Structure 1
């Protein structure tokens, strides 16, 4: 669309693939480039758990609940659309483009009251460890969604072997490589590759270069 370059992991908008509609409760993972001074105008959502992770630049958020603010790199924003909400996301900068992830998860309970929250994790990241961004449990340390889902993100040196344990029994893990080169179950993954792991209690990730990894753990429905 000129100002927007969207890379879709699952069928969305103009991209249709019957073999890629969702991974369990994970319905959307859009890897978006939003040009300076552009964005998504006011539009509706309902009964979807929506997460925005800004990787570079910033987005200005405004919604029908009265929330307005800036989402910066290091911030994570969550929104339960519930019974219905309108919102807009706009790159307010005149000089910097924005890279962000838009992630939708099917809700655990439908038709709840809409809800919005945001948290910065910049000071919480520890090298060679995963940091929990979102969990099913309300706490002051992470955000939470209306679903048994856990989002974890970490930066790792080359030569690391990380054992990830599924947080909620029966869940699967969608592993998205933000940067770097890793191997999972002998499958080589590079920048912006992903793999779904399920029917297991844990799995190992091996890094062959400096890597940034996002894990979205969801019920397999």
Structure 2
């Protein structure tokens, strides 16, 4: 039986570059922890705050599925495929880096920070043609339910990526109970609490805590306060 893993908000590595503050759940760049390399195909989960007018200059990626979810503020994206876009809270961006891309990500506003989740997954196909996808999910029904915002299927809800992964996001009232049914019984589930307090199969979690588990098929989620929750269903192997 595979072990569940708890990553409290306080246990994350904090990188402070002045213009960027990054709380990193897994090993990233100069920070290496052999006990925190990944959860299945989930390789990076960074909780980033970028100062006004600052951002990530032009840099390359390849053979990685990269997802950005803004939580506060506005993020401007440009890439070598010719895409120029702005993403805001209530939107999700996905890039399949494939054979290789260059891109930049900047805070669109000069006078306020932008907070966003930067998530990387290993792909299940290498050297694909790079692609960009962006969707608005903010008008979807997330009240006491989980809205799908990412999947492996181009004709399904949300953005799609080259991996057998599904992301859902929900806003739960205090006292609300629900269950998440895995799309693939061999997958794991990584739960990230954006805000609030919940219990996942009895495990208490608070704001910015993460919890990875390998359930048989279903996970019970109970909110003990108002909570905003991101569910990431992830394959063990890819």
In structure 2, the partner of 1:81 is 97
Residue 27 of structure 1 and its aligned partner are, at CA, apart by 0.3
Displacement over 6 Å in runs of 4+: none
Greater Cα offset, 117-126 or 55-64: 117-126
Residue 187 of structure 1 and its aligned partner are, at CA, apart by 1.5
In structure 2, the partner of 1:138 is 154
Matched, 1:214 2:224: no
Normalising to structure 1: TM-score of the pair? 0.98
Q: How many residues align?
A: 221
Aligned equivalent of 1:61, options 60, 77, 88 = 77
Residue 96 of structure 1 and its aligned partner are, at CA, apart by 1.7
The equivalences for 1:111-126 within 5 A come to 111-126=127-142
Aligned-partner SS, 1:122: coil
Residue 14 of structure 1 and its aligned partner are, at CA, apart by 2.8
Aligned-partner SS, 1:76: strand
In structure 2, the partner of 1:43 is 59
Aligned-partner Cα distance in 2 for 1:24–1:175: 13
Residue 125 of structure 1 and its aligned partner are, at CA, apart by 2.9
The equivalences for 1:65-214 within 5 A come to 65-139=81-155, 141-214=157-230
Aligned-partner Cα distance in 2 for 1:125–1:145: 22
- Superposition RMSD in Å: 0.9
Aligned-partner Cα distance in 2 for 1:140–1:7: 31
The answer on whether the counterparts of 2:151 and 2:161 sit within 8 Å (CA) in structure 1 is yes
The answer on whether the counterparts of 2:150 and 2:157 sit within 8 Å (CA) in structure 1 is no
Aligned-partner Cα distance in 1 for 2:200–2:142: 22
Which runs of no fewer than 5 residues in structure 1 stay unpaired?
A: none
Aligned-partner SS, 1:126: coil
Per-residue Cα deviation, 1:174-210 (whole angstroms, up to 9, x for no partner) = 0000000011222211000011111420110111000
Aligned-partner SS, 2:29: coil
Normalising to structure 2: TM-score of the pair? 0.91
Residue 126 of structure 1 and its aligned partner are, at CA, apart by 3.0
Residue 141 of structure 1 and its aligned partner are, at CA, apart by 3.1
Aligned-partner Cα distance in 2 for 1:126–1:218: 21
Matched, 1:22 2:19: no
Residue 39 of structure 1 and its aligned partner are, at CA, apart by 0.2
In structure 2, the partner of 1:11 is 27
